[in-house]
Amino acid sequence: MQPGADVVAMRHRQILETARNTGSVSVEALAEALGVTPQTIRKDLNLLAKRSMLSRVHGGAVVTSGVGNLQYAERRLVAAETKDAIGAAAAALVPDGSSLFINIGSTTEAIARHLTDRRELMVITNNLNVVEILADCPGIEVIAAGGRVRPGDRAIIGALAMDFIRSFRVDYALIGASAIEPDGTFLDFDVDEVRVSQTIIAQARKVILTLDSSKLGRPAPVRIGGLADIDYLVTDDIDDALGKACDAADVTVVEVR
């Protein structure tokens, strides 16, 4: 990728992060914040809208509908540095000698990248990207779930994956979600993916939920679970309502900066 393309990709990431945090963006505000012309921002927004990452409106853009998620390639760009920090913090909660599930998502893949030098881990995953990250690590035994592979993000979902996961009882489940509400309900977009996540939660002694703050209050239609289902929440920021709900549910919150 040429240096100019790097600059454009970084600007697109910043636009997407702003949109996810605020729900909408304006051309003038983005131009001022990013130090470019309004014409440049209009071109950026038109391109992002063409890729179905934002919906174009007069004077700016709004986030896409709550019934559809961003494509995997775009999800990897959003809050990448924050996800890396969350991944490091979540990995630190897992001691050597543990068994664990790692499920689907760009944040859980960040966790996997911080486990590569660990010892005596057994990792069961329905994420072929995690398999690729960990397969050659000498201290880690990797077991891949069987089932239907979803195009795009290389996720293994469906009934076969759920039956496979039920064969295990692990120490930790490391999971992600696309959205979380103030009461701690965490959600996603795909019913089949959610059912696999619920199966993973049921087969783990401790559950670590990881998500960045752009997921707070984001609309998503399918419920994965609530605070009673998790033991840790690892994130970069948490609002007062969710923090109080975590305290009441005895969920340990790990905030990264």
Which pLDDT does position 61 carry in this prediction? 84
Task: Quick: pLDDT tens for 78-103.
Answer: 567 889 999 999 999 999 999 999 99
Shortest CA distance to 251 belongs to which of 191, 210, 195, 193? 210
Tokens 């033991």 locate to 231
Q: Which domain holds residue 29?
A: 3-64
Cβ neighbours of residue 240 under 8 Å, at least 6 residues apart? none
Shortest CA distance to 14 belongs to which of 242, 22, 107? 22
Task: Quick: pLDDT tens for 97-155.
Answer: 999 999 998 899 999 999 999 999 999 999 999 999 999 999 999 999 999 998 878 89
Task: Quick: pLDDT tens for 15-39.
Answer: 988 887 776 789 999 999 999 999 9
Instruction: Please check whether residues 52 and 81 belong to one and the same domain.
Output: no
Cβ neighbours of residue 237 under 8 Å, at least 6 residues apart? 213, 216, 255
Instruction: Please check whether residues 31 and 154 belong to one and the same domain.
Output: no
Tokens 């853009």 locate to 61
Instruction: Please check whether residues 52 and 132 belong to one and the same domain.
Output: no
Instruction: Please check whether residues 196 and 239 belong to one and the same domain.
Output: yes
Instruction: Please check whether residues 149 and 247 belong to one and the same domain.
Output: yes
Pairing of strands 222-225, 186-188: antiparallel
Whether the Cβ atoms of residue 77 and residue 51 lie closer than 8 Å to each other: no
Which pLDDT does position 162 carry in this prediction? 96
pTM above 0.85, yes or no: no
Q: Is residue 220 helix, strand or coil?
A: coil
Which pLDDT does position 219 carry in this prediction? 76
Which pLDDT does position 78 carry in this prediction? 53
Domain C-terminal end among 17, 40, 64: 64
pLDDT band per the 50, 70, 90 thresholds, residue 59: confident
Share of the chain above pLDDT 90, in %: 65
Instruction: Please check whether residues 180 and 245 belong to one and the same domain.
Output: yes
Per the structure block, which two tokens stand in for 233?
């929440």
Question: How many Å apart are CA 212 and CA 255, to the nearest integer?
Answer: 10
pLDDT band per the 50, 70, 90 thresholds, residue 166: very high
Shortest CA distance to 93 belongs to which of 121, 133, 134, 126? 121
Instruction: Please check whether residues 49 and 86 belong to one and the same domain.
Output: no
Per the structure block, which two tokens stand in for 23?
């729900």
CB atoms within 10 A of CB 2: 7
Instruction: Please check whether residues 172 and 226 belong to one and the same domain.
Output: yes
Domain C-terminal end among 64, 91, 107: 64
- Give me the DSSP letters along 57-84: ETTEEEEPPTTSPPPHHHHTTTTHHHHH
Per the structure block, which two tokens stand in for 113?
């990248």
Which pLDDT does position 115 carry in this prediction? 98
Half-sphere exposure of residue 195: CA atoms within 13 angstroms, side-chain side:
12
Shortest CA distance to 125 belongs to which of 70, 66, 176? 176
Residue 69 belongs to a domain: no
Instruction: Please check whether residues 135 and 113 belong to one and the same domain.
Output: yes
| Cα-only R_g, the chain | 19
pLDDT at 207 over 60: yes
Residue 70 belongs to a domain: no
pLDDT band per the 50, 70, 90 thresholds, residue 74: low
Domain count, the chain: 2
Domain C-terminal end among 27, 44, 64: 64
